[in-house]
Amino acid sequence: MTSRLVLASSSPFRRQLMENAGLSFVAVAADIDERAIEAPLERKGATPDAVAVVLAAAKAKEVAGRYPGALVIGSDQTMSLGNRVFHKPVDMAQAREHLLALSGRTHRLNSAIALVRDGEILWEHVSHADLTMRRLVPEFIDRHLSRVGDRALKSVGAYQLEGEGIQLFSNVDGDYFTILGLPMLPLLNKLRNLEVIDG
């Protein structure tokens, strides 16, 4: 259990999940252009799962290049509604459009993890959560967005389930960790198998 653990993420939520689990690690933001990686994959018809895995691995590989010998955890999440893949809204008008599209429907969060050491991918995994949004009238969406403000632009679905976004939903099928973008149970199991953490 001598391997140094690095989380390739700037997300405070992912960092908190790792801290809450009692893991000793450092968090380092990956320096990649996510849209430049996603765009050709989407043109080729890559699945939301595949896009999430490629992005998670790209983040882990970039950070691993700066931390020789460390075990680097990369993670990423895509959101899909049927064949449509959503991206973070660029402005409040697009956040409103996202919520209107999701209203009354069930969408899927696809949360991927990649473990990389010295450029080699040791493990990849994807977990899913299916979220059903209650039917929202446009006037409520407008009031909701005015309350949450720019926080709506920080997530792909224009909501934070850990905050006021919970009010938008009628049903959630999936674990909290997957929803926040870091499936902790499979990750912890793999870290034990690799003898990185005490098992």
Mean pLDDT on 75-99: 93
Rounded CA-CA distance 82/47 in Å is: 11
List pLDDT tens digits, range 165-197.
999 999 999 999 999 899 999 999 999 999 999
Per the domain annotation, does 133 fall within a domain?
yes
- Which residues carry out catalysis? 76
Question: Which CATH number covers residue 96?
Answer: 3.90.950.10
pTM of the predicted model as reported, rounded to 2 decimal places: 0.89
State how many domains the chain has: 1
Mean pLDDT on 149-155: 92
CA distances from 65 to 34, 37, 119 (A): 17, 18, 7
Find the domain containing 14 and state its range. 5-193
Which of 114, 123, 115 is closest to 53 using CA atoms?
A: 114
Per the domain annotation, does 113 fall within a domain?
yes
Which of 89, 60, 55 is closest to 72 using CA atoms?
A: 60
Per the domain annotation, does 11 fall within a domain?
yes
pLDDT at 158: 94
Mean pLDDT on 116-126: 97
Instruction: Flag the least confident range among 41-45, 143-147, 169-173.
Output: 41-45
**Can you list the alpha helix ranges (DSSP code H) found in the chain?**
12-20, 34-43, 48-64, 92-102, 138-148, 176-180, 184-193
Task: Indicate whether 1 pLDDT > 60.
Answer: no
Per the domain annotation, does 106 fall within a domain?
yes
The dihedral formed by the CA atoms of 159, 11, 122 and 62, expressed in degrees to the nearest 10: 120
Per the domain annotation, does 108 fall within a domain?
yes
pLDDT at 156: 87
Per the domain annotation, does 28 fall within a domain?
yes
Task: Indicate whether 40 pLDDT > 60.
Answer: yes
Per the domain annotation, does 47 fall within a domain?
yes
pLDDT at 2: 44
Residue 144: CB atoms within 10 Å: 20
